[in-house]
Amino acid sequence: MPDIIINKVVIHELVKEQHQPIQPSNLRAAVLDPTNGIVLKLVDGITSLYGTRNNSAHYGTFRTGDGSGAFPGSFSTYTESATPDDAQFMALTRVAMDELYRKAESSQASSGGYILFADYSSAQSRFFIIAMIKQKEGIRLSEGLEPEELTELDMNRLYQAARVNFGKLSAYLAAPEADRQELSYLSFVSPNAGKTAAGYFVTALGCAPGAASARATDTLVKESTAFFRNNDALNPFRKRFKDNLLAYLSRKEEVGESVKLSEVEEIARQFMPAGEPGQVDEMACALISHLNSEEHAVPVEFPVNKAALKKHTHIIYSADNWDLKFERHALGVTDAAQIYYDRENNRITIKDLPDSLIEKICEELENRPEE
């Protein structure tokens, strides 16, 4: 049984063939029955695709000001009611359809499809999802075992979609302005996500990718390492994977390029032992789903945050009279280490001091009055 409760749901149709003029939208007059088993299966199937390997999401917020369109403001009005009625829900879906029509009309390369709208609740939170569903051709056998054509909905991928997490939206609105940059409540999937994250669908709905670089950088390192640690087959490779991940992040930060989950996956695959056929693919998909999930919200692409990265590559401490900062790999518990920690005496010894530092230390000691 699906683990979601549907509050409101409806499907409209945006009628447009690629490179052809748009046609009037086919708008359903009333909501669907949220207790219908097929409706439940449809919504559950669509929502379960979010964050999976081929449906990775960007995380962000609605745009504000010029260029945001009508939907963000209409959604804000919709959230003012804790239990919106059918009329309020349907009015919001029509605003979205108007915006989608307007954007698709001006884009010859765009194509339409069935647009699912659902206000639903799960164990995680309450959500509002808008997802484009396409039809696909298939073959089935008739009662007489004759092959015949079959048209069905494609439930294997999200073509374009956007989803709002009501709980995260409340936290965002309650947060001080300075903290909002690292918060998100909106996720979206777009066919152009790997390039501009601005397909006509997400643009029409006023979606904007958020910065959230500090949180994303920190979460990526912590959660990917935890994923390796918590898997018996991967745990022996945890340190080597983390070292390679940190090196990758450092390179990206140095040249000013964004991190891509697809590239993180390639790094991880190097340390995934091949067992049963398809096992590496299964583990890689599970890792990306874990990172890109609603819980951890690591975006499909984001800039490295230098300060957040440094927390994982350096040990930094400030006391009243001194500061200490060094790379983690320099630390050891034997006297062969460059930064040697003597556990028995709780002392740190720094080896191989550069000549310039030695000169400064000697100069300071020589110029002191005798004690």
pLDDT at res. 195: 42
Residue numbers of the domain that contains 135: 5-209
Q: Do both 271 and 319 map to the same domain?
A: no
pLDDT at res. 344: 83
Q: Do both 238 and 282 map to the same domain?
A: yes
Q: Do both 127 and 200 map to the same domain?
A: yes
Q: Do both 220 and 259 map to the same domain?
A: yes
Q: Is residue 143 part of a domain?
A: yes
Question: What tokens were used for 364?
Answer: 């300071």
Q: Is residue 93 part of a domain?
A: yes
Q: Do both 104 and 250 map to the same domain?
A: no
Q: Do both 219 and 89 map to the same domain?
A: no
Q: Is residue 371 part of a domain?
A: no
Q: What is the pTM of this model?
A: 0.78
Q: Do both 147 and 118 map to the same domain?
A: yes
- Can you list the residues of the chain whose pLDDT is less than 50? 1, 193-198
Q: Do both 149 and 34 map to the same domain?
A: yes
How does pLDDT run across 102-148, given as a tens digit for each residue?
999 988 778 888 999 999 998 879 999 999 988 876 666 667 666 76
How would DSSP label each residue in 211-279? --HHHHHHHHHHHHHHHHHTSTTTGGGHHHHHHHHHHHHHHHHHHTPEEEHHHHHHHHHTTS---STTH
Q: Do both 150 and 285 map to the same domain?
A: no
- Total count of domains within the chain: 3
Q: Do both 122 and 172 map to the same domain?
A: yes
Beta bridge partners of 6: 120
Q: Do both 183 and 289 map to the same domain?
A: no
pLDDT at res. 189: 87
Question: Angle formed by the axes of helices 279-292 and 213-229, to 10°?
Answer: 140
pLDDT at res. 140: 66
